[in-house]
Structure formats: C-alpha cells, structure tokens
Amino acid sequence: MVIALSRRPSLSVAACVVVVVVAFVWRGDLRLDGAGRQPAQSEEPVAAVEVAPSAPLPSPEPVIVRRAESAARAKVRVARRAGRVVDSLGFLLVGAEVARPEAPSLRTDGDGAFVAELTAGKLEDLLVRADGRRAVVLHTTAQAPDPLWVCLEPIAPWDAPTTLAAKAPELHAEGLVRDASGAPLAGAFVNVAGTDSWAQSDDIGRVSVPLVGVAARFVVHRDGVGGAGGLASLSGAFTAPRAQGVVPMPDLVAETGGSLRGVVRDVRGEPVAGLAVEVRSRHVRRIAETGVGGAFVVGGLMPDEYEVQPFAHRGAVGAPQRLRIDRAVVACDLHLQRLEERPLQVLDERGDALAGVWVVSSLHGLRRGVAQTDAAGQVRLPAATASQFEVRAAGDEAFVVREVRRVDVEADPATLVVAMP
C-alpha cells in the first residue's frame, strides 16, 4: 500500500492537509465564533487590554476629478470686445483708462485701441476717462455686432464727477427668435432698444438678453449676404414681471430689412479708412467702421428715418445726414469739413470785455472745446458758423450761466455778445 501511495503523491499531500486541519481544530485555532484557543495549563493567562472604541470610519466620498479649465470653456465664459477712444475732434486718445468694477483697468494703446474681456451673457459697466475729458460710463455686453467707439468731450469745471454706480440685480429676458415663416432663426442679434445690451440667438433660435430695467422693446437684426438687406424687426412694449432673475418674453419675429452703404471722404475728397460711422434712429444705434476705400455697410435695418454721421477725424467733422431706409440698399456719401480753431472775443451788451468767463463751443451735439477768457476777454476755440456757445461765470457757489445774445463767427475777430447779469 505504501508503494501504491508513493506512486500517487497527490493522495499523500491531501492526507497531510487533513492531519494539519484536524490539529488546528483540536487546538481551537480555527474556531468560527471568534473566541480563539484557550491558554494551556502551563501558560500564563494574558492580561486583558481595554481598547477604546474608535470612531466609525467615514463613508468614502465619491472621487471628483476636475479637469483643468480649457481654452474652449474660457471662451464661453469670457469674450473679448474691441474698442477705440477718441476725442470730439477726432484725435486718438492714447493712455485713456478703461475701468471695470472688480477688474484691472486697461489703457488704450498708441492707436487709442483697447480690448476688454467681458463676461458673456451679462451687462457690464465700463468707465472710460482721460485727462481733460469728461468721463463716460458704458453699459454694454460682450456679444454685439459692432465695435465699441467712445468719444470723450472736453471737461468743464462745473461737470459732476462720473463714477460707476452700484451693480443692479441681474435681469434677463429669454425667448425665441423666428423668421417670417415661423422657423427658428439662428445667429440673429437682439438689442434692448435705446441701450447697448445685445445677445445672439443660438442654433435653435433661443436668446437670453440682459435687461436694463423692467420695461423694454427689442430690436432684431441679422445681416444679409454681403451686408445687403438682411432681417430686422421691432417688438412691442414689454414689461418684466419682476426686477431680477430670468423672465420669459414673447417670440420675436424678424422680417425683411434694408441696409445702408456709403463712403466717407476727407476735406480733400480722399476716402477715409478705419473711421467709425454712427447710424441712429428712434430705436436703433449702430456703429460701422469704414474699410478700404472709405466704404461702410450696415445691414439688417428696419424701415425708418435715420441719421448717419461719421466720427470726427483729425480735426475734421461731418454733419449728420438724414435719410430713410425703405429698400434693400440705400447709398450715401459723407464728407468731412475742417473745424478751425479761431480767436473769439467775448463782450457784454455794453461792449466791455468779459475776463475769466468760461466758454464752451459745440457742434452737431458734441462739445468741441472748453476754455476760459483772458484779461482781454479773448479765448481760442474750435468754431464754425453752425457752432453753438455756452458762457458761464464763476459765482459764489456755482457757475452762473450767462445768456448768449449774438454770435458772429465770421467777424475778425469772431465776436460773442453776452447779456448783462
């Protein structure tokens, strides 16, 4: 039998395993009740050691893997808006400050240009200021069809400081933009009329536009092919049911619109490239930039009366031109005229020179110059035949307006007659 077992070693191994297991069971080392084996008679009993109950282990938290913010995600949150700052005579303002709440200020470069990073989908405030200029606050959005052009007028001693107001609660109107057939309209711009708050519809026509207040009207704009024609519409009056949060608005339906094409020329008749042109009506304000050959185009305009005016350019200004957009393409030519700085004599009605008074010259709705008369009642200001003037004298508590009775810009020197106090 031993010889037979030696020929089958697996049986020998199995037998050894059984013997070892039986021995461990007899010693108590394999008890299933967790008591363990009892100490032998010759062994010293082991003193019991009290173990303080430990706190229950916390349940494992789910592991969250946060991937690094990608450039694509950053573009969704933040968008860049380019702009330029000039004075009311059309000279670039280098080093002008563009300030935002809770963000580093920007400075315009050698071309008067800046690029602001704005939070997409929000109405942002930009405070633009420069030495000797009256600051302005822009309420604008990252999404817009036009560049930001800012014109800073000369400052006067009586101007109140311009500051950023406390941020208002956010209010958005959401809805759909459709074409005349009722199909969703993608890529259409929606503007809150009378403001610079814009938004753009997504691929299925949804749009969420920031509101400036609870009352609004909405302008829809989309360029046509090559800028000609396009789509446009104006909504009815809308009142939000609350002052913050997201509110629904009626669907906006875009209809066939018109467009404006034109050329801007300087005093010599040469085309001017890289100049802003403002197009405005009762509900719309658009900015276009001239390209090669001084040409510009603004599409997606509703049928209406418009004023078209170029920004000033290196001391030359353009008068606003009135026209009606009532077809696919309306053409216009804009011409700049030199605005000369000239001496101006300020007198009262008795012919006495007025020394130390402040004089403001304005043209086409913008201040063009502010200066104080010298001891002889003279001052140098940019002025033209169509200029308007304002005269103020320092009083005990404020600057007192002096009524202008007569202006003769063509006289030598140009004369400004002011009423007696």
Is the confidence at residue 46, as pLDDT, over 70?
no
Confidence of residue 75 (pLDDT cuts 50, 70, 90): very low
For residues 347-368, average pLDDT: 97
For residues 290-298, average pLDDT: 96
Q: Does domain 74-152 have CATH number 2.60.40.1120?
A: yes
Please name the residues in contact with 325: beta carbons below 8 A apart, sequence gap of 6 or more.
257, 258, 259, 260, 301, 302, 303, 304, 306
- Residue whose token pair is 């969703």: 184
Confidence of residue 101 (pLDDT cuts 50, 70, 90): confident
Q: Considering only 38-42, 55-59, 139-143, 416-420, which range has the smallest mean pLDDT?
A: 38-42
Report pLDDT for 12. 58
Is the confidence at residue 335, as pLDDT, over 80?
yes
CATH assignment, 171-256: 2.60.40.1120
Report pLDDT for 9. 54
Give the residue with greater pLDDT, 327 vs 74: 327
d(CA 311, CA 340): 16
User: What is the third-level CATH fold of 258-338?
Assistant: Immunoglobulin-like (2.60.40)
Residue closest to 175 by CA, chosen among 190, 194, 196, 193: 190
Question: Are 86 and 112 within 8 A, CB to CB?
Answer: yes
Q: Considering only 51-55, 74-78, 244-248, 280-284, which range has the smallest mean pLDDT?
A: 51-55
Rounded mean pLDDT of the chain? Answer: 87
Please name the residues in contact with 288: beta carbons below 8 A apart, sequence gap of 6 or more.
146, 276, 277, 279, 296, 297, 298
Domain ranges of the chain: 1-31, 74-152, 171-256, 258-338, 341-418
For residues 121-136, average pLDDT: 96
Report pLDDT for 14. 58
Is the confidence at residue 158, as pLDDT, over 60?
yes
**Would you say the CATH fold of 341-418 matches that of 171-256?**
yes
Report pLDDT for 165. 85
Question: Are 170 and 244 within 8 A, CB to CB?
Answer: yes
CA angle 351, 354, 359 (to 5 degrees): 120
Sign of torsion, CA 163 389 95 278? positive
The structural architecture, per CATH, of the domain 341-418 is Sandwich (2.60)
Share of the chain above pLDDT 90, in %: 74
Collapsing DSSP states into helix, strand and coil, what is residue 338? strand
Question: Are 52 and 116 within 8 A, CB to CB?
Answer: no
